[in-house]
């Protein structure tokens, strides 16, 4: 059986969603973040040396990184209704979004998180200076890059409402996290295709069951 090593408020929610979509049996092993550092507990480092989530184990096999986990599940257990024809244009699109979601998409989102939080972590006397520098980085570079990606996502969804072809695929599960993260900060309020996509996936019974299994989730 697949064991999902699930760190609170981490990206393993997508793995639970895929498993629910496929109706596969699995076990959730929960880990709580340190309330001060927000880092994973030492027990998760026993599973993977970086102590990151998501990570799954099955029959002595350990797989980390969301995209790799989704591909492992697909290749080992099948993709059910989410399957696409190997070698097709749709398959190439799925592969692109699987890599893009944790590559190009997350870089500006992480920078936004860092620069937004930086003033809060600065010493009291340094806060005004740090806030000024952070705001210049955000307005001059980070926010325009985030806006580019958000517009790219909205445009990609315009034709069919899905990221790869005319039905839901692994690409949509993978891309759900950056869209949720931006929406949680109000960055997708004027993007109708993104709003419709999120409403559509939230209505899926498998998504709702995954949220119940994973517990409350804070994208912001």
Neighbour-count burial of 207, counting CB atoms closer than 10 A to its CB (0-12 exposed, 13-18 middle, 19+ buried): buried
Instruction: Based on the fold, state whether residues 25 and 124 are members of the same structural domain.
Output: no
Residue 218 lies in a domain: no
Same domain, 106 and 151: yes
User: Phi/psi of residue 12, each to 5°?
Assistant: -75, -5
Q: How many residues does the chain have?
A: 220
Q: How confident is the model at residue 16 (pLDDT cuts 50, 70, 90)?
A: very high
CATH of residue 50's domain is 3.40.30.10
Q: Are residues 132 and 188 in the same domain?
A: yes
Q: What is the mean pLDDT of the chain?
A: 92
Domain membership of residue 131 as a residue range = 89-204
The pLDDT of residue 172 = 98
Same domain, 196 and 106: yes
Residues 19-44: what's their mean pLDDT? 91
For range 144-173, the mean pLDDT: 97
pTM above 0.75, yes or no: yes
What is the C-alpha end-to-end distance of the chain, expressed in Å? 32
Domain assignment present for 196: yes
Quick one: 41 and 67 in the same domain? yes
Domain shared by 13 and 61, yes or no: yes
Number of independent structural domains in the chain: 2
Q: What is the pLDDT of residue 22?
A: 98
Same structural domain for residues 32 and 113? Answer: no
Within this chain, do residues 60 and 160 fall inside the same structural domain, yes or no?
no
| pLDDT of 218 | 64
Q: What SS3 class is residue 42?
A: helix
Is a pLDDT exceeding 70 seen at residue 94? Answer: yes
């Amino acid at each position: 059986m697949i064991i999902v090593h699930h760190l609170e408020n981490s990206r393993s929610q997508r793995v639970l969603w895929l498993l629910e979509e496929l109706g596969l049996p699995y076990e959730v092993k929960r880990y709580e973040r340190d309330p001060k550092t927000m880092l994973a507990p030492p027990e998760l480092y026993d599973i993977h040396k970086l102590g990151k989530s998501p990570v799954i184990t099955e029959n002595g096999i350990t797989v980390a990184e969301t995209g790799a986990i989704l591909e492992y599940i697909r290749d080992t257990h099948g993709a059910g209704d989410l399957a696409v024809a190997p070698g097709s244009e749709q398959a190439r699109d799925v592969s692109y979004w699987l890599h893009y979601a944790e590559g190009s998409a997350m870089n500006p989102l992480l920078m936004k998180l860092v620069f937004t939080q930086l003033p809060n972590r600065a010493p009291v006397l340094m806060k005004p200076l740090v806030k000024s520098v952070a705001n210049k980085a955000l307005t001059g570079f980070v926010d325009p890059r985030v806006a580019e990606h958000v517009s790219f996502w909205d445009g990609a969804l315009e034709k069919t409402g899905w990221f790869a072809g005319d039905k839901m695929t692994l690409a949509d599960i993978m891309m759900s996290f950056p869209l949720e993260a931006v929406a949680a900060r109000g960055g997708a309020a004027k993007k109708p295709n993104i709003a419709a996509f999120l409403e559509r996936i939230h209505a899926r019974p498998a998504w709702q069951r995954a949220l119940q299994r994973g517990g409350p989730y804070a994208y912001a």
